[in-house]
Structure 1
Amino acid sequence: MTERSKPDRELFESERAFRILVQGVTDYAIYMLDHTGIVSSWNTGAARIKGYEASEVIGRHFSIFYPPEDQAAGLPERALAAARATGRFEAEGWRLRKDGTRFFASVVIDAIVEEGQFIGFAKITRDITERLKARSALAESENHFRLLVGNITDYALYMLDPQGFITNWNLGGQRIKGYVPDEIVGQHFGRFYTPADQKAGKPARALQIARETGRYEEEGFRVRKDGSFFWASVIIDPIRNDSGELIGFAKITRDITERREAQQKLERVQAELAESRKMDALGQLTGGVAHDFNNLLMGLAGGLHRIKRSSTDPAILKTISAMEGSIKRGAGLTRQLLTFARRQQVHPVRLDLAKTVFSMQEVLRAGLRGNVALTLDIAPDVWRVHTDPGELETALVNLVINARDALLEGGDVRISASNHQAGASDSTDYVRIAVKDNGVGIPPDVLEKVFDPFFTTKPVGQGTGLGLSQVHGFANQAGGRVEVESQLGEGTEVSIWLPRARDEEIEDPVEATDKTVGTVLMVEDNPDVASAGAMLLEELGYRVKWAPDAETALSEVENDGIDIVFSDIVMPGRMDGLGLARRLKRKYPSLPIILTTGYSDAVLRTDVEFPMVRKPYELHELSLAFDRINIR
């Protein structure tokens, strides 16, 4: 055997190494076909992937790897023809293993030409079944995602191109904004903004912020196809490809009109609750001092009355008159504060509003300056209201005085009343009483404080800050409300809304009757107040007995000889005046009982169970109260 030349030996070693490499590959089936498609070589990867050993497959046509339907369609022959014609054939498709199972294959067939002569094919096959499964799973996932996005109805989910033109549209967009895809795809998303926002360049600014910061979020009004507005929550996210290039925006819009309205309602309720708590705190503070304060005023009034009755000196009488005026103002301030805090006892009756207002016109005109004109516009058919006439009159006087003070250079004050039937959101009929002026108006920062107690813009000594507070408390305690509208330089209108009186409500008759002198048991723990009250009752012709507490009063009534019980509510001991009155009423149903108080929480719960007189009281108030019980 002749020794091989060095080039031949190197070629032999190279071919041997290549054969070993090919045979060692297990992830690819690498084999040769002759020019007719007969298998002429077979590697380890082919044996692993297709299940045939080399001895089982060499010499057989490669079409055995194709499923029957592909064989019948002539796919093996077409693959070889394509490879021979172009030099290469590539495809993906199903192939068969020896055991008949299928796998998804990536196939490459190269035509082999040697020294210009076509000699066969080199074929490489790879099992990509797992890749196919992953690809199918991805496609299915993407399809599910598209279906999910497309069928979501609570959110408008859609894409924009980099310039803001809409590229797709889901059912949520159609439901929320009213457009079907054919109407909106290709349109600029700026059409969803209000005209004012469009003019301000808000759509472009939203895209710019999303592009520069990575996200844009806001809440605001958007416009539907029919032109109606809705309150929207909006998110815009920029979409970039793998190289970081902006390819568009993802936009999510949700209609949160109902949520916003609910939030606003909650805020209103919270504000009302805070206001109610403020009123409660104020009422507790006021109530804590009102009883003692009014008892002091009652004692002073009684002492002054006694001095006045025994003096003829004009200077003393003038001083007494001034002091009585101060006592009345002090009592009035307490009543206004209690009314604002809704802790003032009221005596509502079925009131003819037109008659009441017209009967007050002289009093109201007297409170105005000569350069201020008063106009009454009260329709005679205005509904009756169920309210306390004294509190209503005080409220109107307060409003007219405020209107006068706003008319620095003169002007007009107009009082009107009109009927307002119940609407869809309120089942109550109201009468609206409005006091309007054409004065200087109220600044916005002041307007929100006008009902606060002691808040006033008037100079020191010219206002207590309780006028509008009284109006506010009166309206709320009557079951209504008060509203203020004002424009600087144009004037102010304050409206009191009072519920319409029911037809079955009957006005309490107030008829004075001849009274027969009788004995009044005054139940009062404060001796000074008892002395002042007894003096007034004696002037009315009554005999007076005094009991300092409820237990003593019970003993006095049991001893007989008592025609009327006149009791304070707040007293020391186990039983207060209201408990005493109820106990006496059960035992002596025909015994007249009148209660009095400077202030008590119990007053708010009596529901006019017993006649009531507020401290500090005067002679005519006692006379009216005792006339009401019709003693004969």
Structure 2
Amino acid sequence: MSIPEPIKRNNQQLKELIELNEELENYFRNTIIPQLFVDANLILRKFTPPAMKQFSLSREHIGRPMEEMADNIRYSTIVDNILQVIKTGEIFEKEIQTTNMRWFQMNIIPYLVKKDNRTNGVIITFVDITDRMKVLRDLEKLNASHETFIYSVSHDLKAPLANIEGLVSLLIKSSYELSAKCEANNKEQKYIATLLDKSVNAMRTILNELSDIAKIEGNFKEIVETARFEDILRQVELTIKDKIVESNAVITYDIAEKEINFSLKNLRSILYNLLSNAVKYRVPGRDPVIHVTTGKDKGYVFLSVKDNGLGIADDKLEIIFTPYTRIERDVEGTGIGLYLVKKIVENEGGRIRVKSSVGEGSEFTVYLKQNALAPPAAQQ
């Protein structure tokens, strides 16, 4: 007597379900990840062996409410988070520390019944991130020590530097007063005073840049304000006026985007470094021509500084943003400027691009995000 077709199909489906269940049981037995399976009534239905070991669970815990497991997992709001996932159908992620002081990335994932399109429970996965957390803490300590060292050096050097500046001023003043009496000796005195003055200014620049590095590497947040590009550009032009006059540089503007919500200090630093480099890295015998452009591109405000200077070789483009890197040794500088620009831009979610040809010039384009202005303080 042959077996009816419906019974054959049922037997085949039953066999497939048994095989699938065996595969799942095999996965549960062999996985190295602690996992809990909780139904829509917040009852613990299953857990993997690593979960049993990690959270001191036993077979008696199966079928019991999850609220009784909070002490085992050492996370008091786990029931609230499960309810949130069941309600919204969205994955919940949280870093937690368990009773044995290990850190885990906890993911609560909704278990969806496709037929009814509803959440019938959750799967909770725990990924051990203890080593990662230790590395992060060590990096934070190192970063704090680094910042403290830089601030300490900057602070300790400012006092003697101020004294040197005062002495240089007196030396320059006395040299002019003595000019009529002893012209020959006075020329040498003026020369020494000028060299001292340049050295002091260079040291002041380095100290300021060290302070900027500490702030930027520590993600120090400057006050966001409405910055007008033309105003900042004029300020920067005044700052480097002597270099512009000395080199006969011509700077032109095409300011399509007038304003941006950004730190005034950081925007000034970006423009100062890009413009001063465009003037400094000029071709001997060729007057610098620099063109500054602003506009919008795919949700970013961009700022472009294009010059007709020395240019940068292709094999050097990757290292120009490395701190203390100097491509042209004959040009005065510290090798920090472009590094600062890149850090400022990337800290604010932006990016910087470079196009350059040796002997023809370079174009640096900075893409900045519009930072939201904080609401004005309430009137008392």
Task: Please give the TM-score of this superposition, normalised by the length of structure 1.
Answer: 0.30
Based on CA coordinates, which of the two structures has the bigger radius of gyration? 1
Question: RCO greater where, 1 or 2, for CA within 8 Å and sep 6 or more?
Answer: 2
Q: Between Structure 1 and Structure 2, which shows a larger proportion of helix residues?
A: 2
